[in-house]
Chain A
């Protein structure tokens, strides 16, 4: 069964450093998402992406964050200058259609900012 893959599974970085989290969505999916889950808390929406542009973003997704689809398969989340509070699990998800088909998640990247 096709799946969303994310790399790395765990990233440790120092405060102020830039990180790039990578995702390969399911190949026939058109809508791509990033979600965040701080340990013990709920899954929070960051951003959705369609047709090479951001469709929606939450208030968490400030100027420190950016997304890109650099080629036909990868979807990346960049955090320009990490803060301690960015430590969380970051999940990539994709879907065939916006909201009328379910999200399929990757296994996440655990980001630890020290």
Chain B
């Protein structure tokens, strides 16, 4: 079983839609959870960081963690074409582990 799984997409949505991106992880020792945005040929850019179950909001982005089901989500409200990128979830326990990323396209 892979440590962090993520639907690779691609996911296409119209501008203004609410986007839901999801990951599952296998190791209950993972304590910290991150979402990164990666534009083509650029480094991953940290969007959200949390270490507890529940929701964390930052502007149009909300990260949700459910440790009981080992499920993490990122919601993007009022999506914009500039949100078109690959979104990587990551967890850490002893080391950082990344999901393969979901490619998102927001169509104008």
Residues of A within 8 A of B (CB): 4, 6, 33, 41-43, 45, 48, 56, 89, 91, 99-108, 110
Contact = CB atoms under 8 A, between A and B. Distances in A.
Given A45-B97, A105-B45, 11 more contacts: A91-B43, A99-B31, A99-B32, A99-B93, A100-B92, A102-B32, A102-B34, A102-B46, A102-B49, A103-B90, A107-B42
Contacts of B44: 43, 91, 103, 105
Contacts of B34: 102-103
Q: How many of chain B's residues touch chain A, expressed as a range? A: 20 to 34
A42 B36 CA distance: 13
A42 B46 contact: no
Interface of B: 31-32, 34, 36, 41-46, 49, 51, 88, 90, 92-101
A6 B41 CA distance: 13
29 contacts: A41-B100, A42-B98, A42-B99, A42-B100, A43-B44, A43-B98, A45-B95, A45-B97, A48-B95, A56-B94, A56-B95, A89-B41, A91-B43, A99-B31, A99-B93, A100-B31, A101-B49, A102-B32, A102-B49, A103-B44, A103-B90, A105-B43, A105-B44, A105-B45, A106-B43, A107-B42, A107-B43, A108-B43, A110-B41
